[in-house]
Amino acid sequence: MDAKTVSPAVRARQSRDRLKLLFEEGRPGRRGVDFPPLDVPDAAEAIEPELARDGVEGMPELSEPEVVRHFTRLSMLNYAVDRGLYPLGSCTMKYNPKVNEWAARLPGFARAHPYAPDALSQGSLELIHDLEELLATITGMDAVTLQPAAGAHGELAGIMLIRACLESRGDARKVILVPDSAHGTNPATASFSGYEVEEVPSNAKGCVDLDALRRRVDGTVAALMVTNPNTLGVFEEDIAEIAKILHDAGAMLYMDGANMNAMIGITRPGDAGVDVMHLNLHKTFSTPHGGGGPGAGAVAVKKHLEPFLPVPRVAGTLGAYRLDYDLPQSIGKVRSFYGNFGMFVRAYAYIRALGATGLREAGLTAILNANYLRRALEGVLTLPYASPSYHEVVFADHDLEKETGVKTLDIAKRLMDYGFHPPTVYFPLIVHGALMIEPTETESREELDAFVAAIKAIVEEARTDPELVKTAPHTTPLRRLDETGAARKPKLRFMP
């Protein structure tokens, strides 16, 4: 563990080996594959000589083991949920069961063509139909579209539905309200959709301030977008009252349900009066995510929004499902074809494997794990909100910073030396130096205890050797990065 016990020479060699480019390995003449002699005419002879190249300059020539080792080394530099705890708050980096992958790779699904006629696609259509129904039941909503490709994309579709519905009533409105504890994508979505965005403050409990909401809601407000549980990990306990305040003024309630893993099987947004919400299948329903996709941001709506859902929708009955494009009030398509179908198969497999009791247990365990961490770290880090946690717990750094000068970023970097992926940092913005930790339900008590021990050790180090923490990480191939510089002037070559 101690960085000082590894000699600099050893470290230099390790990092050089790990970070070499393919272009820096190999030798001219080295081959990874041996082709047998051609027993057909050489197609290269058919190419116009001036179009043909006689070689590619600088192409690395490598043996098979060099290639395999290169890519295996690279894959090992990557921290992954298959290697250990990945406590990125708000992101729900839970373990993705491998049975989902088996299901998604069944040839009937994996090789289905999006243009195949309905008659030859009954299995896929049935899966879409049944998954929509399962998600409607889980959320307490009336209808679901699986088309959006991500959570933020689901938000956009959901807000388009609200707009289409209000406009069909001749009641176009201008403003969308967003609490200050919302996920950042919520105000971005509202603004991208052409609405004016107004912020609603949180109260001391970390929930929407109802009086402030009552004062602001009027005939200009189209909707409130609320993240629940919110980015403080706090459940909006007045969600039904929030819905009522909006409905009384002819406005709607949008719920960001990306954190549904803390509610699943326990409570249903539809029962609380939510009009439209999205789910992140790639979080709550364990389809792999990160690195840019693919995702699936299913949108669930109440009856009054159903006529506006994107086309096509799966209609018909078992054995005779079809894709229905004939929906005159639909907002149209929001994604090519039908969405990321492979994600639907994985989410469906997950739901069917767990069943109703298993899903509820997953929800309860997500809450238990977050509260376990909260209890274990209370008094070690600063807890800015006293409300109980749901799926995640948010700490602040100001006490430790005042005492030692060590900040949230330093703790996050030092955690890498202890073999953990850092939690989400500096978000939500309403918490000073936020450390937003979401353990998820798939972690064992031993893994959580190891994480707690690492945080405690780092806080102790902050008191005894603050420089060690402030200059971390010490055991990773690259040390502390200039993050602004990395974004502005990316250096794509590791070694000179």
Ligand X SMILES: *Cc1c(COP(=O)(O)O)cnc(C)c1O
Query: Interface with ligand X by CB under 6 A: which residues?
Result: 90-91, 150-152, 183, 185, 227, 256, 258-259, 280, 295, 297
Least distance (Å) from ligand X to the CB of residue 427?
A: 10
CA distances from 28 to 56, 170, 265 (A): 12, 72, 61
Comparing CB distances to ligand X, the nearer of 229 and 473 is 229
Residue 181, CB-side half-sphere exposure with 13 Å CA sphere? 25
Comparing CB distances to ligand X, the nearer of 114 and 290 is 290
Per the CB < 8 A criterion, the answer to whether 190 and 197 are in contact is yes
Comparing CB distances to ligand X, the nearer of 26 and 158 is 158
Tell me how far apart the alpha carbons of residues 391 and 309 are, in angstroms, rounded to a whole number: 30
Comparing CB distances to ligand X, the nearer of 62 and 436 is 436
Least distance (Å) from ligand X to the CB of residue 150?
A: 4
Comparing CB distances to ligand X, the nearer of 428 and 433 is 428
Least distance (Å) from ligand X to the CB of residue 231?
A: 7
Handedness of CA 404, 477, 83, 101 (dihedral sign): positive
Cα of 122 vs its chain's centroid, Å: 30
Least distance (Å) from ligand X to the CB of residue 226?
A: 10
Tokens of 346: 């994985």
Tell me how far apart the alpha carbons of residues 97 and 109 are, in angstroms, rounded to a whole number: 18
**Spatial CB neighbours of 138, under 8 Å, sequence gap ≥ 6:** 260, 264, 265, 268, 351, 359
Tell me how far apart the alpha carbons of residues 186 and 256 are, in angstroms, rounded to a whole number: 8
Comparing CB distances to ligand X, the nearer of 88 and 345 is 88
End-to-end CA distance of the chain: 28
Torsion region of 433: left, alpha or beta (phi above 0 gives left; psi -120 to 50 gives alpha): left
Per the CB < 8 A criterion, the answer to whether 335 and 147 are in contact is yes
Least distance (Å) from ligand X to the CB of residue 334?
A: 13
Per the CB < 8 A criterion, the answer to whether 162 and 223 are in contact is yes
Least distance (Å) from ligand X to the CB of residue 330?
A: 22
Least distance (Å) from ligand X to the CB of residue 436?
A: 10
The H or E element that residue 175 is part of is strand 175-179
Residue of this chain nearest to ligand X (CB atom): 151
Comparing CB distances to ligand X, the nearer of 28 and 291 is 291
Comparing CB distances to ligand X, the nearer of 259 and 382 is 259
**Would you list the DSSP string of 253-303?**
EEEEETTGGGTTTT--GGGGT--EEEE-HHHHT-----TT------EEE-G
Pairing of strands 393-395, 424-425: unpaired
Comparing CB distances to ligand X, the nearer of 158 and 297 is 297
Least distance (Å) from ligand X to the CB of residue 88?
A: 10
Least distance (Å) from ligand X to the CB of residue 424?
A: 10
